[in-house]
Amino acid sequence: MTDNDKKAALTERLAKCYSGAVYDALRERGIDNTVLPKDIRPIDDTHVLAGPVFTISGTPKPGISADDALLAWTGFLSTAPSGHVVVCNGHTDDIAMMGELSAETLQMRGVRGYVTNGGCRDSNFIRNIGFPVFHRFYTARDVVGAWSVDKMEVPVQIGDVVVKPGDFLIADIDGAILIPGEIAEEIVVEVEEVMNTENKVRSAIRSGTDPKEAYLTYGRF
């Protein structure tokens, strides 16, 4: 099995998990600084996004030509790899880091979704094609003549969390959680075990078991 095959298989397992259980597994290992800022939200609350990360970083560049901005942007779109989650540090509070044509392009390339501390536009179009985007704000203002990609596949900081190439990410309605790449498979195994135990607790509660008794029996609640 190739490295890409292993990542794809792990991604499919991670996509069946949920952010709360992943956070719990990381916390129990003493790894707490993994939650991206709470104001990074999905454009569609039903989306679950999971996979290895591909990072980009950029900055506002007042006066940059439309051509130069779009050449840098389309260069990123041409580079983003299939099966990955793009994580973008935009260093901006008023520019959209994602729009309809870009979402269409990434979706066609097999990219699993996009997470940014910047903005999003064309959001209804993106929602309609089902491409997962997690962002901080809506704005009609895009990158043209205003912003440029500076670096790709480098560590980027989103809030207090440093996201590195090789890490994994899961995001859903409750938030976005980073998983260090070196322990990603171990965390997924632990989360699968937790979810199996939670199913037993759920069944016990539904059958009338006292919640304290259920906790003492299964060790989780």
Cα–Cα dist 157/164, whole Å: 9
Reported pTM: 0.93
pLDDT of 182 reads 96
Q: Which residues have C-beta within 8 Å of that of residue 195, sequence separation ≥ 6?
A: 17, 21
Q: Kindly list the structural domains of the chain, giving each domain's residue range(s) and its CATH number in brackets, ordered by start.
A: 3-182 (3.50.30.40)
pLDDT of residue 101: 98
pLDDT for 191: 95
CA angle (107 as vertex; 103, 112 as ends), nearest 5: 105
Is 136 annotated to bind a ligand? Reply is no
Q: What is the pLDDT along the chain (221 residues), one digit of tens a residue?
A: 898 899 999 999 999 999 999 999 999 999 989 999 999 999 999 999 999 999 999 999 999 999 999 999 999 999 999 999 999 999 999 999 999 999 999 999 999 999 999 999 999 999 999 999 999 999 999 999 999 999 999 999 999 999 999 999 999 999 999 999 999 999 999 999 988 888 888 888 898 888 898 888 887 78
DSSP sequence for the chain: --HHHHHHHHHHHHTTS-HHHHHHHHHHTT--TTBPPTT-EESSTT--EEEEEEEEEEEE-TT--HHHHHHHHHHHHHHPPTT-EEEEE---SS-BS--HHHHHHHHHTT--EEEESSEE-SHHHHHHHT--EEESEE-S--STTTEEEEEESS-EEETTEEE-TT-EEEEETTEEEEE-GGGHHHHHHHHHHHHHHHHHHHHHHHTT--HHHHHHHHS--
Q: Which residues contact 131 (CB under 8 A, 6 or more apart)?
A: 103, 104, 106, 107, 113, 114
122 known member of a binding site: yes
- Residue 134 has a pLDDT of 99
